[in-house]
Structure 1
Amino acid sequence: MSPSQENLKQLCLELFEIDALKFGDFVTKVGIKTPVYMDLRGIISYPKLMDVLSTVINNYFTENKISGQSICGVPYTALPIATAVSVKYNIPMLIRRKDVKTYGTKKLIEGVYQKGDKCIIVEDVVTSGSSILETINDLKSVGIVITDVLTVVDREQGGRQTLKDLGYTLHSLFTLSSIMTILYEANKVKQDVVESVKNYLSENQVQAKCNNELQDTRLSTPLESRLSAAKCPLTTDLINIILKKKSNVCVALDVTSSKELLSLTKQLGPHIALLKTHSDAVTDWNEAVGNELVELSKEMEFLILEDRKLADIGATVGHQFSLISSWAHLVTVHSIAGPGPLQEIARIADERGEKRGVFLIGELSCAGNLIDEKYTQATLNLAQSFSSITVGLVCQSPSVLASSPGLLQLTPGIHLSQAGDNKGQQYNSPNEVITLRGADIGVIGRGVTQAPDPLAAVKEYKRVMWEAYEQRLK
């Protein structure tokens, strides 16, 4: 046995001794039952073992000629592993945040890097490879190159092949089979356990949640090429407007008088794809105002989004939607109430023969909001279930719509100055929102409505945001 093989055997046995390898009835992250579970989170309490692991990983890099400008651990368990390797062997490290910061620098990727740098991803355990793909997507969104991934344990359940199909090489210190062989030869497990795991692997293969329609593919795919994936007719209409006008601008006219609303619409309409309204904030709103907005939308070719953020039982949402459906092409809806509101909106639109759609709210731009990753994923699932009426999601992160090119990402909080207010609003630059955060349409409010010359302002946003979209495609 070579020195490296002997080191791997010893490392495996030490992991077994600290109970990092468990046998019994467990459920993995991807939701499948398993008789063996690798839990490497506890390794952080064993500094000497962490040191050994970092040495083994670095030796693997050297022996297999794997190199890069940096390494990045998949959050969260692999972070301390990558940190140990970084510190001991002087390899710069990057950190991928699971959620984009809403304060400070608002970075998705922490660390020092340049576009084109190569980064090695480090993972603890691979089953389907979905967590790795999420990290790859976010790193690639800022121009970092990924070719190699190293994991401590490959469970041999499909992750390696998924990554290979997408052009990435998965390296592993151990496979589940090699672990079982080492433990059996060391009299740590019996033959029946080895056979049980072997049978389990042959019967339980999984696929990553992220497939060939990865986030970076969505971002680098022109909107015209995504038309075929759109299932809501209004999605097609909106994309065609964006392409014809070369404008991915949504202006939020959060004003309180109908006179100001209509005046601004007449000025800005020719340069926008989407007009966002808050009709309930307009103190003198009446049916005639809605009718005039519709006529302007036809004349100037834009769609109207009423930002009502509906969130109630289906029957109540139905009543609310009925009041705006004659003039609002789109409405924002919270997913907290489940499918009921969408079912009712779809029914009403169908009965009236109106082409209508929704933007589901998957994330918010305001500081301190309570939406978490689980809620965002549930919102996406709902959008996919109601794809015939869902135009897209209001969200902030580039990976949310990774596997859904037929949905559009609407992202608020754009301002050229990037200064927030004292009421929780967080602003980002057009380039940040379009190029890095993955927005297909960006929302500008006060950057236009409170500008000395709103028309000049919207033209500037239109220019800058379209350039950011074109840059994203390169």
Structure 2
Amino acid sequence: MMQGRHSKDGGRASSLVAKATTKEPMTQQEVEDLVLKLNEIEAVKFGEFKLKSGLMSPVYVDLRVIVSYPDVLEQVSRMMYAQVRDTPFDIMCGVPYTALPIATCMSLGFGLPMVMRRKEVKDYGTKKAIEGAYKRGQRCLVVEDLVTSGASVLETLDPLQKEGLEVTDVVVLIDREQGGEAHLAANGLKLHAAFKLSALLEVLQRHGHVSAATAAAVRAFIAENQTKLPPAAAPAAAPAAAPAAAAKPKRLPYEARAASARNPMGRACLELMARKRTNLCVAADVDTAEEMLALADAVGPHICVLKTHVDIFDEWTESIASRLQALAERHDFLIFEDRKFADIGNTVVSQYGGGIYKIADWSHITNAHLVPGPGIIDGLKKVGLPKGRGCLLLAEMSSKGALAAAGPYAEAVAAAAEANLDFVMGFISINPGAWPKPSSPGLIHMTPGVQLAEGGDDLGQQYNTPPAVIGARGSDVIIVGRGVIKAGDPAAAAAVYQKAGWDAYEASLRA
């Protein structure tokens, strides 16, 4: 099968492929030009719009208008094709009705066979739901204009599958970032979006077509109005032969969950993990700042997060903080200062934003106990939210006899996180799979006390292996300290843990 092109042999197919290969991916300048054209033709509007759900939205995307602008339609089809040019498929199907002209333009421009789904099946003639030439077992790419919840895509999925067509990929122009990517992933579909609504906003704001206030209102609306999985997409329940435990929810890939993360640092972390293929956090519990910087440089290529305890050091300066930030940028990892704030809101404002360490200035992530009550989140948020920082709540700890454990305390922590999704990006947890209900898919679970072999130390630390933490317990990030920092070659040890953690994650996706 040829990737992204007609797979049949013959002169006609060869000429179509030759025509397709003359079209190169769009440049960044062309992408920006398309966004500006969409704004010019009012395919994207800002104001107050009542949606089908009854909600009032500050943004309305109406791509039906592009059929009146052939140059825009061609640019849209070319940009969408660029997203799937390396994805194998035999035919395409546009979701009726707005995506039909887009799919047709892609078909004509790149020599791609397509079929059509009837929205209303006739009760006479062939009575087909899918029109066109196709064979069972062929791989079909679904083409849609934009995705919000994914409901319209899932409505098209069912009749295609009933005809024996295999559907694994969906391409859209715009992802509204309201949960659609995660919902499609839950149904085995990978979303390829030309751009996200936030990226469109950024271009329009930079060119002066959208004010900062309007952009902020749209981003807040997106964050506060995440869609739920459409009921029609839920798999039918199998007949119960005998009482059994509830089925374990299927793990969503990190990249699919990123769209559901309302905290920007939570989203960045999930995207980083998928991009870098690592779920390893190294705990830099060393004696000096220079040792910490040397360790960060050594293990940086293998980690998603570096966890620090800077109050261990006898020296801390802005220069040290700047050097650490430079290493994080060079090696593409996030900095997590494991401060474990545990005071009233007014006090943590000063502790987080000021003092000797000025943690909020350089640390992407910090954490807190909920013992003082939700006011501690309010205090940390006051400092961290304007800087785009993220907070992890301590729900469970890995030390023996810890009072922060599964049960009422962890449930209260989970509820506090759900109430503060703009700032709380996840949890420090030990066994999130045992919690009574799943948390929001955008929330991240990080588990400390991980080594390659189970056991503990003489101070009560309990160790678990990567497969146990990621697979059996359903966590997302393994936090490894002594297994790396006490190794003769920390970089080599980090590489081993990176592979172990990622292998466990990939195995859990197949489970």
> Normalised by the size of structure 1, how large is the TM-score?
0.54
* Structure 1 residue 215 displacement after superposition: 8.5
Task: Determine the structure 1 residue equivalent to 2:415.
Answer: 381
Residue 318 (str. 1) matches residue 349 (str. 2): yes
Q: Which residue, out of 448, 460, 464, partners 2:500?
A: 464
- Residues 363 and 376, structure 1, Cα contact 8 Å, conserved in 2: yes
- Residues 251 and 443, structure 1, Cα contact 8 Å, conserved in 2: yes
Residue 436 (str. 1) matches residue 472 (str. 2): yes
Task: Determine the structure 1 residue equivalent to 2:426.
Answer: 392
- Residues 215 and 403, structure 1, Cα contact 8 Å, conserved in 2: no
Residue 362 (str. 1) matches residue 395 (str. 2): yes
Question: Hey, which bits of structure 1, 4+ residues long, moved more than 3 A?
Answer: 163-172
- Residues 338 and 382, structure 1, Cα contact 8 Å, conserved in 2: no
Task: Mark the CA change 1:392 to 1:225 in structure 2 (over 3 Å): closer, same or farther.
Answer: same
Aligned residue identity for 1:422: D
- Residues 277 and 305, structure 1, Cα contact 8 Å, conserved in 2: yes
Aligned residue identity for 2:410: T
TM-superposition CA deviations, 1:27-58 (whole Å, max 9, x none): xxxxxxxxxxxxxxxxxxxxxxxxxxxxxxxx
Task: Mark the CA change 1:444 to 1:215 in structure 2 (over 3 Å): closer, same or farther.
Answer: farther
Between the aligned partners of 1:215 and 1:290, the Cα distance in structure 2 is: 46
Between the aligned partners of 2:247 and 2:257, the Cα distance in structure 1 is: 13
Residue 343 (str. 1) matches residue 378 (str. 2): yes
Secondary structure at the aligned position of 1:364 is classed as coil
Between the aligned partners of 1:444 and 1:264, the Cα distance in structure 2 is: 13
Higher relative contact order (Cα pairs below 8 Å, separated by 6+ residues): 1
Q: Which residue, out of 248, 254, 273, partners 1:216?
A: 248
* Structure 1 residue 383 displacement after superposition: 0.4
Residue 276 (str. 1) matches residue 310 (str. 2): no
Task: Mark the CA change 1:170 to 1:387 in structure 2 (over 3 Å): closer, same or farther.
Answer: farther
TM-superposition CA deviations, 1:105-150 (whole Å, max 9, x none): xxxxxxxxxxxxxxxxxxxxxxxxxxxxxxxxxxxxxxxxxxxxxx
Between the aligned partners of 1:169 and 1:409, the Cα distance in structure 2 is: 32
- Residues 267 and 442, structure 2, Cα contact 8 Å, conserved in 1: no
Between the aligned partners of 1:165 and 1:384, the Cα distance in structure 2 is: 28
Aligned residue identity for 1:363: E
Between the aligned partners of 1:332 and 1:215, the Cα distance in structure 2 is: 32
- Residues 215 and 399, structure 1, Cα contact 8 Å, conserved in 2: no
Secondary structure at the aligned position of 1:332 is classed as strand
* Structure 1 residue 220 displacement after superposition: 2.1
Between the aligned partners of 1:449 and 1:232, the Cα distance in structure 2 is: 30
Task: Determine the structure 1 residue equivalent to 2:138.
Answer: none
Between the aligned partners of 1:379 and 1:167, the Cα distance in structure 2 is: 34
Between the aligned partners of 1:320 and 1:215, the Cα distance in structure 2 is: 44
Between the aligned partners of 1:171 and 1:389, the Cα distance in structure 2 is: 43
* Structure 1 residue 287 displacement after superposition: 2.2
TM-superposition CA deviations, 1:165-205 (whole Å, max 9, x none): 65474989xxxxxxxxxxxxxxxxxxxxxxxxxxxxxxxxx
Name the count of aligned residue pairs: 269
* Structure 1 residue 256 displacement after superposition: 1.7
- Residues 273 and 302, structure 1, Cα contact 8 Å, conserved in 2: yes
Aligned residue identity for 2:408: K
Secondary structure at the aligned position of 1:391 is classed as strand
- Residues 307 and 335, structure 2, Cα contact 8 Å, conserved in 1: yes
Secondary structure at the aligned position of 1:438 is classed as coil
> Normalised by the size of structure 2, how large is the TM-score?
0.50
Unaligned runs of 5+ in 2: 1-233
* Structure 1 residue 164 displacement after superposition: 10
Between the aligned partners of 1:364 and 1:391, the Cα distance in structure 2 is: 17
Between the aligned partners of 1:399 and 1:370, the Cα distance in structure 2 is: 16
Task: Determine the structure 1 residue equivalent to 2:70.
Answer: none
- Residues 420 and 427, structure 1, Cα contact 8 Å, conserved in 2: yes
Task: Using the aligned pairs only, state the percent identity.
Answer: 36
Show the 5 A alignment for 1:445-456.
445-456=481-492
Residue 304 (str. 1) matches residue 340 (str. 2): no
Between the aligned partners of 1:262 and 1:215, the Cα distance in structure 2 is: 45
Show the 5 A alignment for 1:71-82.
none
Secondary structure at the aligned position of 1:473 is classed as helix
- Residues 394 and 404, structure 2, Cα contact 8 Å, conserved in 1: no
Task: Determine the structure 1 residue equivalent to 2:457.
Answer: 421
Between the aligned partners of 1:250 and 1:165, the Cα distance in structure 2 is: 38
Task: Mark the CA change 1:215 to 1:354 in structure 2 (over 3 Å): closer, same or farther.
Answer: farther
Q: Which residue, out of 369, 374, 377, partners 1:334?
A: 369
Residue 255 (str. 1) matches residue 266 (str. 2): no
Secondary structure at the aligned position of 1:251 is classed as strand
